[in-house]
Each structure stands twice: as structure tokens, then as C-alpha cells.
Amino acid sequence: MTLSRRELLVGLGAAALLPSWTEATNFDYDLVVLHGRVIDPATGLDDIRHLGILRGRIQAVSKTELRGKRAVDARGLVVCPGFIDPISHGQNLENDMVQAQDGVTTKLQIESGVLDQDEWHAANAGQRMLHYGASVGYNGIRRRIMGERADQDAASSEETTTMARMLDQQLAAGALAVGFGLEYQPHASRKEVFEMFRVAGRHAAPCTAHVRYGTLQDDASALAGVQEIVANAQAVRVGAHIHHVPSMALRTTPDVLDYLLTAAANGVDVTSDFYPYNAFGTGIGSEVFAPGWQEKFGLRFEDLEWAKTHERLTPETFEKYRKEGGMVIAHGIPENAVWAAVKGPSMIGSDGGLREGVGHPRSAGTYARVLGRYVHELGVITLSNAIAKMTILPARRFDSRCPALRRKGRITVGSDADLAIFDPKQVLDRATFDDPALPSLGFQWVLVAGIPVIAEGRLQPDARPGRGLRAPRRVASS
């Protein structure tokens, strides 16, 4: 029997060739990374280089060998900026550990955001393996103000004013953006939403969105939802970012991406992200699965998988779990939609988050899946292009608001030593819908602020170098 590449690599696991870690007594740097193929899409560098790291930052990018207290021999490996996940719902140590093994060094909770920047950052300080940051979530604010009415009514003028004030306060406290989940708040009026954009405009804060629509009906299509966000953002002169395009646009993904590409080419500040899977995951009790969902999305009961047990649903189990609540996997994203996103302008974001190992495989395998399947196996895009989608594109999307991100997603002197070091021929996602927490293979070293969280292919479970990312504080405008 001939084993496939995937079966062979899974069997090899940690037995794959590992680089060495050496120590020296006379040194110029805390750590040097030697002989690696350094790929930095921000500068176009793709060549053998040696990196010198001191006090958590890159202090040398050299053609000649450097001396360090510790040395990583990266011969035969790619050395690139650590990956920046712009839509990571798993903001805890469980998810940090699995995403570190996927090359991620920075995780941003941009779509859902958090309600209180001070409380959230205080709770995470010193507890995280990877860097973290968050937007302020419009949906959370709306529910805080309106309670159960948020799922039933438009906001009153007084409620809208209160929401705008809370939003203003959180942007002043350093939120990285304003995150909108409009499909989950179908009763939010366009006027109400625009008032939140108006507040974002006063802070020059980008607005990101899980758009209002994701159906196959033209007047409630993903394109219509995207156009609402782009129009609002242009009106107040802020950047717009659209989350997980294929999971919303489904078979219309090429049309939505064409719109975004055309808008950007004509000077509109709009970006997007995607994850490389043929299924999306969300709460079964959410508005997504309100009556009529089959016709809206072209899905059947048997296309739905209950994440806890992996059973395919029936009309009876659908009603049972909708009352119970929990995560469902919807197998309905066409492969050509994923290909269009891989080849198109979108950056990569996992949209993931495990809870005690339960969830979607995107939580653990998004980045290795792009590198292993779409770069190495299928050749859909180049390695450098894929790395750009994982590094400099998300950094640039938010670095105008967060100066610390100007030192991430890059390999230049003065940049943070957040690095992913991997074998491009062996990188492989292992997470599946049956076992969504299986870590990826091929990442031999992952450094966060110069500290190894993956060393010689092994997770360093006690490492806690992650630091919070915020915009500079300012005085609230209201």
C-alpha cells in the first residue's frame, strides 16, 4: 500500500528533521536565527539571511553569520513574520497553545470585540502565550443597553445615543476597531448602524463586519451587505473590513471579491478575510438559522453537523439543539469559493475558537492548511503571497490605529521578534471536523517577542510572552 503525503507526514509527526538549539558564552545577541530562508513580503526579501534578536526585537538582518547566546539553525526552513489572526474568537490559553502550533503569534478579537477594554486587558495580562488585542463589539453594546429587546426591536433614539456614548468611551480606551455582527442583529436599523460608524469616524477607527446578509437572494445577498458597510465607511472616511467572505457569499464569492477588488483599485479603503474550509460554524440558536434558512442558504438538515457529537441533523434533532444552543457546522461553502478567496485580495483569518476541544478545525489548522494544501500541494498561490496574507496585510489593516502593529508582520531592524519558522514541504494541517483540536505539523520554531513558544517542534506550555495591543488612549468625544 502506498501512503499519501498526508498519511506519511502524520505518521512521522515529531520525528521530522529538527533544527538545533545551541548556546554560546560570548555573544552579541540574545538569540540568532541562522541560515534560514527569510521571507518578508513587506520588503520583498526572499533569501538566506541570519537574524540577530536582542530584548525581544530584531536588531540585525545579515548576509553574514551572527553570534548569539543561543542559536537556532534554520537551514532548510522558511523564516517569516509570525502570523496575525484578525478574527480569533478563542482568546484564552487553550486556543493560544493550538494556534501557536499553527504559526500564529498575534490574535485579534476584531469581529465580536469586547465590552470593556480595561477589564479585558487586565484579565489577560501575564496569562497569554500569544499577543492579543480587541475591537469594541457593537453587538455586545447593543445587548447591554437593550437586553432581550435587542433580538426583537430597533433601538430608540435614546438607546442609540447611549450606545454611541459607550462606543466612544471604548474607542477612547484603546479599542482597535469597531466590530459589527449585523446578521445576528437583524432588527438594527441602517440609521442606528450608521450612527455607530459616525462615532468610529471621530476616532479614525476601522469598522469590520460580519455583514447583514449572507443569503442567495439578491436583495439580501452578501454583496448587498458588503455595500452597506462600504458606503457607511466611505461616508465617515474610515477603513472597512469584511470578515470571512466565502462563508457569507457562498457561491457568489467571486462576485463579492470582484466588487471588493474593484473598490480597492479605485481608492476605497476596504479589505477582507477568509478561512480555507468548505463549512462554516456558528450558534444553532442564532438568527442565521431562523425559519427559512434552507431556502436562504441552499442548505439541508443533513448539511448540518452538531459539533459536540459530529452527528448530521434531522428536522427533529435540529429543533432539539436549536432550543438547547451550541455550535453547528454547516457544510455549504463551495470549493470554488475557497479557491477564489485564496487567489484573491483577502487576508487570512481563522474565525476560530475551541471550547474544551470542541469547535471547527479552522481553530487549529487554518494557516497550515493554506501553506500545505493551497501552496505546496495545489500551487494555487505562491508561498510569499500566502505569507503576505498572514502577516503584513492584517498588520497594515490595523496599524494606523495601533502603533505596536507597525513592528509586527515584518522582518526588519526594529521589528518585534515574532517569527514562524517552518518546513514548507512538511507543513500540514491535521485538524478535522471529527477532531478539530489536532495541532498542525511542520512549525519547528515559533517565537513571540523573541521567546520560543514552539522549540524544535515542541510546544513550550509554560511560556507566557504574549502582550496586549491597544490604540493610544485619548479623551472621549462625548
Contact 198, 236 (CB under 8 A): yes
Amino acid at 102: D
Burial tier of 231 (Cβ tally within 10 Å: 0-12, 13-18, 19+):
middle
Question: What pLDDT sits at residue 474?
Answer: 86
DSSP 428: B
Question: What pLDDT sits at residue 27?
Answer: 75
Residue 1 has pLDDT above 90, yes or no: no
Q: If you average pLDDT over residues 258-287, what whole number do you get?
A: 96
Instruction: Quote the radius of gyration of the chain (alpha carbons, Å).
Output: 22
Q: If you average pLDDT over residues 99-128, what whole number do you get?
A: 98
Question: What pLDDT sits at residue 21?
Answer: 54
- For the full predicted model, state whether its pTM sits above 0.85: yes
Question: What pLDDT sits at residue 215?
Answer: 82
Question: What pLDDT sits at residue 13?
Answer: 42
Amino acid at 424: P
Q: State the DSSP string of 338-402.
A: HHHHHHSS-EE---B--BTTBS-THHHHHHHHIIIIIIIIT-SS-HHHHHHHHTHHHHHHHTTT-
Share of the chain above pLDDT 70, in %: 94
Reading phi first (left if > 0) and then psi (alpha if -120 to 50, else beta), residue 14 is in: alpha
Q: If you average pLDDT over residues 225-235, what whole number do you get?
A: 98
Q: If you average pLDDT over residues 127-136, what whole number do you get?
A: 98
Residue 19 has pLDDT above 80, yes or no: no
Question: What pLDDT sits at residue 3?
Answer: 41
Per-residue pLDDT tens over the stretch 144-187: 999 999 988 999 999 999 999 999 999 999 999 999 999 999 99
Residue 5 has pLDDT above 90, yes or no: no
Per-residue pLDDT tens over the stretch 310-362: 999 999 999 999 999 999 999 999 999 999 999 999 999 999 999 999 999 99
Q: Please state, in angstroms and rounded to a whole number, the distance separating the CA atoms of residues 288 and 340.
A: 24
Per-residue pLDDT tens over the stretch 408-441: 999 999 999 999 999 999 999 999 999 999 999 9
Mean pLDDT of the chain: 93
Q: Which of 104, 112, 130, 132 is nearest to 390 (CA)?
A: 104
* Domain locations in the chain as residue ranges: 5-81+412-464
Fold of 5-81+412-464: Urease, subunit C; domain 1 (2.30.40)
Give the 3-state secondary structure of 26-39: CCCEEEEEEEEEEE
Instruction: Enumerate residues 6+ apart whose C-beta is below 8 A from 141.
Output: 115, 163, 166, 167, 170
Question: What pLDDT sits at residue 297?
Answer: 86
DSSP, collapsed to helix, strand or coil, labels residue 318 as: helix
Can you list the alpha helix ranges (DSSP code H) found in 93-189? 93-100, 117-124, 138-146, 157-172
Residue 4 has pLDDT above 70, yes or no: no
Residue 88 has pLDDT above 60, yes or no: yes
Contact 179, 110 (CB under 8 A): yes
Residue 11 has pLDDT above 80, yes or no: no
Residue 26 has pLDDT above 80, yes or no: no
Share of the chain above pLDDT 90, in %: 89
Q: Please state, in angstroms and rounded to a whole number, the distance separating the CA atoms of residues 61 and 391.
A: 18
Residue 10 has pLDDT above 60, yes or no: no
Residue 466 has pLDDT above 50, yes or no: yes
Q: If you average pLDDT over residues 73-97, what whole number do you get?
A: 98
Instruction: Enumerate residues 6+ apart whose C-beta is below 8 A from 271.
Output: 239, 240, 241, 242, 260, 264, 345, 346, 347, 393, 397
From residue 226, alpha-carbon distances to 176, 223, 230, 239, 241 in Å are 21, 5, 6, 13, 9
